[in-house]
Structure 1
Amino acid sequence: MAEPLTIPQAAPASPEAALLRLETLTRRADFLRAARGRKAPVDGFLLQAWDRGDDGAIRVGFTCSRKVGNAVARNRAKRRLREVARLVLPHHGRAGFDYVLVGRHEITARRDFTALQDDLRRALRKVHP
């Protein structure tokens, strides 16, 4: 009998990163509030950030308009943005902030994944001088 396939789980780089939780934005009002905050356009997407003024969890939302493409392209772009946020925000994001990642037309879904991660790190440096 073959052994079951096990997939190794990546451990957080630092204990502090493990303590920061990511929550998903779902309410329209939260997205609108983030749109009034700081903006950092980068090659792969637009980052919007809003300081809630507390030390709560990092909250993140994702949006792709129909300009990004058909439903398949929009969903692929959002999946990629979710994974980039999951990997980068616990280490480089700040507690008490809402972040919204807005996909770009034909770029977000096709851009190299490591380049998207670098884009998010660069955007976070812009919104947190």
Structure 2
Amino acid sequence: MIQVLTKRADFLAANRGLRVARPGFVLLTRPNDGQGKRYGITVTKKIGNAVVRNRMKRRFRELLRAELPEQGLPDHDHVLIGREGGIERDFAKLDEELKIALSRAAEGKGDPPRRRPRRGNRQKGRK
């Protein structure tokens, strides 16, 4: 049985794990100390209104239900973060991208961490 992540702390912990970016989503994986395969889905308001976000979450849920039992990492948390292009992408294309992302995660080949935008470096008083 694959469990669903519900606690914010689990999502934040997954964010410190391995990151694999694809055009439609970002997959985060992190070991969870023997709690089995678990998954979570995040789609922010930047993606669209509630109808669009819920449609995307339904698509992601179906993808994860199909792929995690065979290809998911044992005793890991898997978090899918929706990206802007994800809602228009073909379902079969998303499925293929998820398989690739899970295999990369299994090999330990993540993408480099994102750089944070630099702040406080602006000159004051100039226009």
Tell me whether the two structures share a fold, i.e. TM-score over 0.5: yes
Q: Is the aligned partner of 1:109 residue 2:80?
A: no
Q: Is the aligned partner of 1:77 residue 2:56?
A: yes
TM normalised by structure 1 equals 0.80
Kindly provide the amino acid, as one letter, of the partner of residue 47 in structure 2.
Answer: V
Q: Is the aligned partner of 1:34 residue 2:14?
A: yes
How many residue pairs end up in the alignment?
A: 107
For the residue of structure 1 that corresponds to 2:89, the secondary structure is: coil
For the residue of structure 2 that corresponds to 1:128, the secondary structure is: helix
> Segments of 4+ in structure 1 off by > 3 A?
none
Q: Over residues 65-122 of structure 1, what are the superposed CA-to-partner deviations in whole Å (9 max), with x where a residue is unaligned? A: 01111111111111000000000111101220000000011x2222111111111111
For the residue of structure 2 that corresponds to 1:34, the secondary structure is: helix
Aligned-residue identity in percent = 42
Within the candidate set 23, 27, 37, 2:3 is matched to 23
Q: Is the aligned partner of 1:119 residue 2:97?
A: yes
1: CA distance, partners of 2:41 / 2:72:
15
Which sections of structure 2, spanning at least 5 residues, go unmatched?
Answer: 108-127
1: CA distance, partners of 2:100 / 2:33:
23
2: CA distance, partners of 1:122 / 1:86:
16
Partner of 1:63: 42
